[in-house]
A and B are shown apart, each in its own frame.
Chain A
Amino acid sequence: MNEFQPLIDQLYREQILDARAQSLERRFLGTFEITDFAYSVSRDGVDMQFPDASLEERQRQWQRRLRIQRYLSEEGIYSPKRIPAKE
């Protein structure tokens, strides 16, 4: 067993017990809060990587990341799964 597995399990347990204690409404609305937070962090990442780029260019980079996310997420469901090239 991975030496960190007991800690991983304990953190997961706490997450599960927290979720059980929340109302359906709280869990549902939490989706938007956590997504807003994740998007803001990701946008900060674009700003950090392209500090001298114009606002339009940073927006273009952000949109590119969203497209890549969608592409990867849909592979095998809405587009055929790619077959890895042989070495």
Chain B
Amino acid sequence: MIVGALAVNCYTFARTTKDADFLLGVKMGGIEEVAKHLPANFLIDPQPRMELITGSYRWIINVVGSDFCVEMFHLSDDARHQEEFTRRRQASLSSIGRTFWVPAPEDLVIQKLRWARSKDLDDARNIIAVQADALDFGYIEKWCREHGTWVRFEEIRRSIPEI
């Protein structure tokens, strides 16, 4: 499943990104198996890094000859990560004949409010503004209250001008 900025941009307007992020629904050892099937110029750093908020792991793949890199995230046992993966949606790129998976927009908002860096809050605001009534606010509220980010969500929602 594609996550990060590329997934966010599916639901709002384009912003820049330095990488392509993938969440893989495999066991920890499965990441190494996936890496074996990558092109030779994709160099994986064998040392995973732990994300400090949810405890999930990430591998960085540098692409020789490119400024762009790929990050692969391991699907953790975190209850919300599991639900996010279950709720994923299929999207298609007809111009290149490919389909891919992305999280539902509600799950991106919830995650962005949890990380809460300035770019995350901008992403959350933009998704809420573009998707508006298409969002399941009850679902967002349930997880935001669980994470203690509901006040943050309400502040962002209030900051959106009437459209």
Chain A residues in contact with chain B, CB under 8 A?
9, 12-13, 15-20, 22, 24-25, 27-31, 33-35, 38-39, 62, 66, 69-70, 73, 76-80
Contacts and interface: CB of A to CB of B under 8 A. Distances in A.
A9 B161 CA distance: 6
B14 interface: yes
Contacts, number: 83
A25 B14 contact: no
Interface string B87-99: 0000111110000
Q: How large is the interface on B (under 10, 10 to 19, 20 to 34, 35 or more residues)?
A: 20 to 34
Contacts of B163: 13, 16-17
Contacts of B17: 31, 35
Given A13-B161, A76-B52, A80-B52, A19 B93 contact: no
Nearest to A14: B163
A52 B15 CA distance: 32
A47 B16 CA distance: 21
